[in-house]
C-alpha cells in the first residue's frame, strides 16, 4: 500500500485543524455616515465556545450577518475554516449553522414539520436526523405540537435545532438566550456545552453576561463597532490582584497600609472595606503585616470582578475615551 497516503491525510487534517473556525479580518460595515462595524479582528479556534459581547447597537448582529454572507462588508474579510467566505460561500457555509435573533418559525406547523420544512430546503435531511436533533434539543415530547403552543425557550431550542440540521461544524448564534427565563437559560447553556463536547465550535452573542461567563472560554467585547478587548474569561475576571480586607478600626489600618510601598494606592470602599495590594502580592504577607501592626483582620480575600462588572467598566471606559 502507499505509505505516503496516511501522512498526506495527517497533514491535511492538521492543516484544517489549525485554521481558526472563524476569522474576522479588519471587518467594517458603514451605513451612510454610521460606522456599524469598525475594523474588527477576531479569531475563533475550532472547538471553543466564544462569547461575542457588546451593548445594544454595538454591531454584533451586523458582524454576524457579514459572517454568514447575508450582507456585504464595506471593508475587510471573513474566513471560515481558513477559506474566504465571499469567494467560497456555498462550500464554507455548508459547515455553518446559524440562528439570528428570533428564529423565523412556521408557528402553525409542529416542531417536527418545521424541521422537515427547513430540511427540505437543505435537501438530504432524513427522518432519523430529525429524530436525533429533536433529542439533542430535548423537544421529542412536544415534536407533534404546533409551535404556537411552545414556550419561548422551546422556540429558541427549535431555532437551534434548525441551525443543527446540516450537522454544522460551526454554530453562529445571535442572542440564543434572548428573552429566556432562568430555567430556559440553563437549558440553553447545557445545550451549548453538549454541542461543544461533540466538537462543534460555538460563536454566540449575548447580553446575558453571567451565562457567557459560565460557558465561554474566551470573549470579545465590542462597542461602537470596535473591539475593546479579546481575552479569556479567566483573565478578565481574575481581578487586579487586589485584596479586600475587613478589620475593626479600618480607617486606622488603612493609614498604616498606605505608609507601605505596596499599599500606597489602598482605599476604603463604601462598605468600609480596605481594598489594597499585598506585599509580594501574597495574602499571607498582608495578614502578617496587619497582625504585626496591631490590626488583626476579620477577612482577607482576593478581589474578583464578574464579567458584568468588567463589561460595564470597559464599555464605559471606551465611551469616556471617545471610542
In the complex, the residues that contact ligand ATP under the rule CB under 6 A are 31, 34, 36, 54, 56-62
59 is in the binding site of which of Mg ion, ligand ATP, none (Cβ under 5 to 8 A by kind)?
Answer: ligand ATP
The partner in contact with residue 179, picked from Mg ion, ligand ATP, none with C-beta cut-offs of 5 to 8 angstroms by kind, is: none
> Quick check: 61 binds Mg ion (CB under 5 A)?
yes
**Part in contact with Mg ion (CB under 5 A); list of ranges 55-63, 129-137, 187-195, 295-303:** 55-63
User: Which of residues 28 and 276 has its CB atom nearest to Mg ion in the complex?
Assistant: 28
- From ligand ATP, Mg ion, none, which one binds at residue 90 (CB under 5 to 8 Å depending on kind)? none
**Minimum gap (Å) between residue 36 Cβ and ligand ATP:** 3
SS (H, E, C) the chain: CCCHHHHHHHHHHHHHHHCCCEEEEEEEEEECCEEEEEEEEEEECCCCEEEEECCCCCCHHHHHHHHCCCCCCCEEEEEECCEECCCCHHHHHCCEEEECCCCCCCCCCEHHHHHHHHHHHHCCCCHHHHHHHHHHCCCHHHCCCEHHHCCHHHHHHHHHHHHHCCCCCEEEEECCCCCCCHHHHHHHHHHHHHHHHCCCEEEEEECCHHHHHHHCCEEEEEECCEEEEEEEHHHHHCCCCCEEEEECCHHHHHHHHHCCHHHCCCEECCCCCEEECCHHHCHHHHHHHHHHCCCCEEEEEECCCCHHHHHHHHHHHHHHCCC
Nearest distance from residue 22's CB to Mg ion, in Å? 17
2 binds, among Mg ion, ligand ATP, none (CB under 5 to 8 A by kind): none
| Closer Cβ to ligand ATP, 114 or 206, answer by number | 206
- Which range touches Mg ion (CB under 5 A), out of 52-60, 73-81, 91-99, 269-277? 52-60
Nearer to Mg ion, 156 or 276 (CB): 156
Provide the minimum distance between the beta carbon of 39 and Mg ion in the complex, in angstroms, as a whole number.
Answer: 19
Amino acid at each position: 500500500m502507499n505509505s505516503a497516503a496516511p501522512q498526506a491525510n495527517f497533514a491535511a487534517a492538521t492543516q484544517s485543524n489549525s485554521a481558526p473556525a472563524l476569522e474576522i479580518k479588519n471587518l467594517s460595515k458603514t451605513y451612510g455616515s454610521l460606522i456599524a462595524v469598525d475594523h474588527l479582528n477576531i479569531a475563533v479556534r475550532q472547538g471553543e465556545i466564544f462569547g461575542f459581547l457588546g451593548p445594544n447597537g454595538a454591531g454584533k448582529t451586523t458582524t454576524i450577518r457579514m459572517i454568514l454572507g447575508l450582507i456585504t462588508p464595506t471593508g475587510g474579510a471573513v474566513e471560515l475554516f481558513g477559506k474566504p467566505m465571499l469567494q467560497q460561500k456555498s462550500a464554507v457555509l455548508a459547515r455553518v449553522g446559524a440562528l439570528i435573533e428570533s428564529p423565523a418559525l412556521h408557528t402553525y406547523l409542529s416542531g417536527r414539520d418545521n424541521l422537515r420544512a427547513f430540511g427540505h430546503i437543505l435537501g438530504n435531511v432524513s427522518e432519523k436526523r430529525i429524530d436525533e436533533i429533536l433529542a439533542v434539543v430535548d423537544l421529542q415530547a412536544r415534536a407533534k405540537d404546533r409551535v404556537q403552543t411552545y414556550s419561548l425557550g422551546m422556540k429558541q431550542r427549535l431555532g437551534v435545532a434548525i441551525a443543527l440540521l446540516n450537522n454544522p461544524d460551526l454554530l453562529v448564534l445571535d442572542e440564543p438566550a434572548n428573552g429566556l427565563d432562568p430555567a430556559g437559560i440553563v437549558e440553553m447553556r447545557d445545550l451549548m456545552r453538549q454541542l461543544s463536547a461533540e466538537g462543534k465550535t460555538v460563536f454566540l452573542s449575548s447580553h446575558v453576561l453571567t451565562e457567557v461567563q459560565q460557558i465561554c472560554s474566551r470573549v470579545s467585547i465590542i462597542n461602537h463597532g470596535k473591539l475593546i478587548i479579546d481575552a479569556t474569561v479567566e483573565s478578565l475576571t481574575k481581578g487586579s490582584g487586589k485584596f479586600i480586607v475587613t478589620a475593626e478600626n479600618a480607617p486606622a489600618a488603612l493609614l498604616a497600609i498606605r505608609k507601605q510601598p505596596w499599599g500606597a494606592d489602598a482605599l476604603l470602599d463604601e462598605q468600609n472595606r480596605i481594598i489594597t495590594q499585598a506585599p509580594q502580592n501574597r495574602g499571607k504577607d498582608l495578614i502578617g503585616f496587619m497582625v504585626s501592626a496591631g490590626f488583626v483582620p476579620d477577612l482577607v480575600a482576593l478581589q474578583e470582578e464578574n464579567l458584568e462588572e468588567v463589561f460595564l467598566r470597559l464599555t464605559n471606559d471606551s465611551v469616556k475615551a471617545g471610542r
